[in-house]
Structure 1
Amino acid sequence: MASSSPKNALIDEYQELLTCIICTGTLKNAKSLSCGHSYCKNCLKSWIEKNKGKRDKTFPCPICNAKHEIPKNGVDDYHTNITINSMVEILENQLSRDKNSKANCDICAQEGDDVPAVSRCVECAENLCQACNKSHKRSQGTRSHNMYDLTGDPEKDARLALDNYVKRNIQCPKHQDQPLKFFCSKDKAIVCTHCCITEHPGHACQAIEEAADKEKRNISALFGLANQRKELFEKFIQDSSDNLQSYEGNRQSLIKDIDTDHAAKCKQLGEYFTKLHKELDEQLAKQLKEQNENHAKLLNEAKAVANEKTKKIQANQDQHELEKGIAESTLLHLTALIKHGHPVDIMNSSTDTAKKLQDWGRIPEEDEDPVDKYTYQPGTLDPANMVQLHHRVIPETLDTRCIVKKTRYCDPKVTRKVNLGDKNPGVKEIYGVTKGYNNTIVLCHELSAGMSSYTADTFTKQHTANGNFYDVCCIQGNLYAATDYSNKCISIYNHNLVHQKNIGKFKYPWGICEAPGKGLLVVDITDKCVYLVDYNDGKIQATIGKGHLTNPYYVTINSKSTVFISELGAHCVKGFTMRGEEVNQYGGTKGGGPDQLCAPECVCIDPDNNLIIADRNNQRVVLVDKNCKFIKYLLVSEDGMKYPHNVIINNEGNLIVGDQYSGDLFVIRYKQ
């Protein structure tokens, strides 16, 4: 199905979808696997023979490597992809004629006559002339068939054929005179009228078109997940490329430092030994030999350090490329199914669609280690005493997992205290807070005061939105997402706090934060869990903490996609993976000790991936590391804070803490 002229633009549009990856030719008698990928029947049969397992009756999909069991009757038992086979037939037949040539009547052609066709029957898949068209409409057996007029333009007629294909009747394999018209929801079977009466009596059977329309919702949901996975793996691939580039730059810098020091030491030795007597020449040669051996050893060590890490990053990158390709091929298949899929094909794939929805409901996490940066520390050389050289290739920090120099903490200091009510009369309580756009902060106040944005330097009010909001966060597109208690949803606002839309429906939404891949994490107090939702439409993509939480209020997430949830009544903060696995916890007993909390409220992450907790009833703010190990207190009752409720990091890297009831804001510097 080569495309070499402008008339074949339609072929180019579907070329990838209709190409068999095994033989690289146009799909012939396409068969679909449960993973959604289709191949020529004969190609798939040959592939299975070459790649079937030696110990079990399985084989891998050529595209995604998913394992499939070999059916009893081989490839014959796999679903025939009616949609793809018909698309191939339509495009090859309709576009095989020249631009100005007319399609002839298929009925008259059987008698050897060339009569121009004026219409096409969808069920019979035949072109008809005017006379045959009239006869077709009058005949009792064909009068109910779907017909449409031909335009005479091959490409337009091909598009018409694709659009009308879904109306075509597919005959029952058991009763060739009966079309498949119903879907049995109990047996998950597509049946004709005769099958419905004789083999599925009393079962709930609905028209296949109605069942397919409902199933398209699942297909659309899977399309969204596939697109999300594609974007995530594109990000992972870019991160891997950045890491590889960083490692190569670090390796070159390390080798350069070693070579420079080697040259300097050789020069130092040479200058010293020119002053000595000739009998010391042997010692000079020995020392130079040792220096060169050390230099070679250090170079090999530096290369080994970089090469080992590079191989791992490249392996991850290869896997990300594979996953991205799987997502792209799935998107291609789903696009065709949504646009041209026959109801029979849609319902045949319903079970596979449901399984993939479940499998892909777990958001993939990036399995990428942080960049270990290495530097070179030159040793010292005392030629006069012939002291041996001391060199080491060491990590830049004691923590070999750290990318930057280890943070040096200073004694926390309140550098500023502001009462919002002094500048903005009537403002008191603070519930939610986020660092806003254009050097602002956005606060959710007591339920009657709505939400307002303030300048981050003078804390002067700029914009206000009316409503009952508990928490707010920034999302892409210079927008804010706030948990709207009155409407039990998420309200989306622009940077001027002008309402854009509402998404989702919850029982009691409270804390909120942005998640990777155009997602939002939303705490539902009543359901006692955190929902991952799409911030385009509010659809729930995953549930975190169900059965593990008793009193959740606020949520945050670090760069490793660990989700931290504050438990007000349980006096702890729990960490979960995006898959919902509990990984760590801080607190858990009510008290004032270093590892105890009393009614923790807001939580946030600082630039070093540390967790900051507003320990409200202990009148303090706690800093713990990513593994929930105590580091220090950043604010205590002696600083004048009564009920610390809100915590965020500003653009300068300082901590801002809000008092829930007084409207006081404290700015705290805790790092050098």
Structure 2
Amino acid sequence: MEVMDVPGKNAIRRDSLATIALGSEEDPRVYCQPCDPDGSRLPAYGYCTNCSEHLCETCYTLHRKHKLSRDHTLLDKSSMPQILSPVTPTQSENFTKPCPTHNMEMIKFYCHDHKTLLCSVCVTLDHKLASCQVKYIPDISDTFINSTEYQDILKRINDVSEISNKTLQDTKKMIENSDESLTRALEDFMKFRTKFDQRLNELERQVKEAVEVNQEDNKKKLTKLETKCKDVSKSLKSSSGAIQRLNRSTQANDMFIEMKHAEEIIKDFQYQRTMATLYDQNIEVKDYNFEPNEVISYLLDEEFSLGTLQSETLIIPDMKPRQSSYMDKICVLTSNAKGRVCCIQGMTLPYPNTLILTDDYVLKMVDIKTQSVIAEHFFQYTPLDVASVAHNRLAVVLLGNESIQFMSFASKKFKMNHTVKVDGQCCGISCHRNQMVVTFQDPPKVQILQMNGTVLHTIEDRSIFKSPMFVTTCDSSVYVSDYIMETVTRFNWKGEMGDRYACRDKPYGLTMSENGTVFACVGNGTIIEISGDCTRGRVVVQDLECPSSVCWSEERSTLYVSSMGCNSQDDGTTEDDFISMFKLTK
């Protein structure tokens, strides 16, 4: 084919294209691609985003006039791509991913400033080259084959997939727990109604309907979260397979695009941000129990309600990272101590500004605002642990007396109420609704009792317990620390064992957070936060001196921690004499 010289332009052989493009400073860096096959290297005057080609002034003018190209999108010299890299025809034209915004266009560019994939129309409208660092994908994609970023994206896909799968498991457990609680509530109702069966048919139907409505409501609320997790897992699994397949076949363009799509999915599911969004989609799963109306037993001839279906929101255990910071400490040593150090083993926080603690033979009331002890009550026996019952009522474990002493407090004073005898030397106690859980050392066991002392369930298994110490409770679960087994074990309110968490050292005092996690004092000088299902845990406070008991204030986002058995300070005090305060933030 005869080649026509164009006046003022150099004729260039095709086979010297790569050499000149990379090595000659006199040749134009960006030239007209339609003219190049004829051996004419002409400076680019513009760029056609539809054809993905640079055009000289003549081709640029003709492009606007020709019937087949007059509707194409053209970029002028100031807006066109400024680099032309020699790539193979298959590499430059092998675009298969359509633009999500412009369905008829293929993704061909990547904007480094906005970290997003683009088609030609995106570049023209929203990512002009004068303001954005836009790269033609074939110019950069080869470097991603077996790259560090390739390895990183696979790892991130795997990490987020694990988080998504764990969220799905938590969701299923929440459904199971909620349904179990509804079943228990229905069973309790059925026992209650046997006393006056003829009068309860209509009311029974109402309760059953309420249960069915709530079960359906639970499933509707959680199906959305379950579906999202499945979709994320499916998408990431597909992306991971596609990325690895494209990497093996060195299809850099598609692999690059697939990687960036996977990054978008991961960014939408980042643990620090989106996991909270997942949990905050007005998803409330409630725990239920039936509370019978006691008056109705004596007033069968009247039209009274049999009770209500009580509920409390269950929350997926929140194990997002927390930051702890030391705030201050409260001295709880008083003039009545007569030269001894404190021995604080039990604490409870009945009100945001009131802390109740056990100290050797003394029960103390601490005002958090003034950071001072405002009331004391002395016992004949050692009060080992204390639990809030309701309002201004307390339950105190008395070591050596095999009893639970119920107390009330008001106006900076304690008052002794009734005593409940138990069948052994008890250690820890926690009260919830109308039941209490008590731990025993010899023999090692845990009992779930009514407030009058009636034993409902006994857990006495040497393979589970060797030295059960302290206990904390919520609507659905009971958590017990074992000093010798070095575990925190979860039970339901029927005494059936769930999972257990290995603490790697001796656990002591426990407390429950509002979002369903458990804080535990551990002998290695740390406070750990354990997920509600006892499958995960992490250190939130460390470098402590023998932490023995802990309380959590949701209002203040503060942990109150006591110590026991520490060395004396220069001023004669020890860490035992103080309650340390730590602020936890997310």
The interval holding the TM-score normalised by the smaller chain is 0.3 to 0.5
**Which structure has greater strand proportion?**
2
TM-score (normalised: structure 2):
0.46
TM-score (normalised: structure 1):
0.41
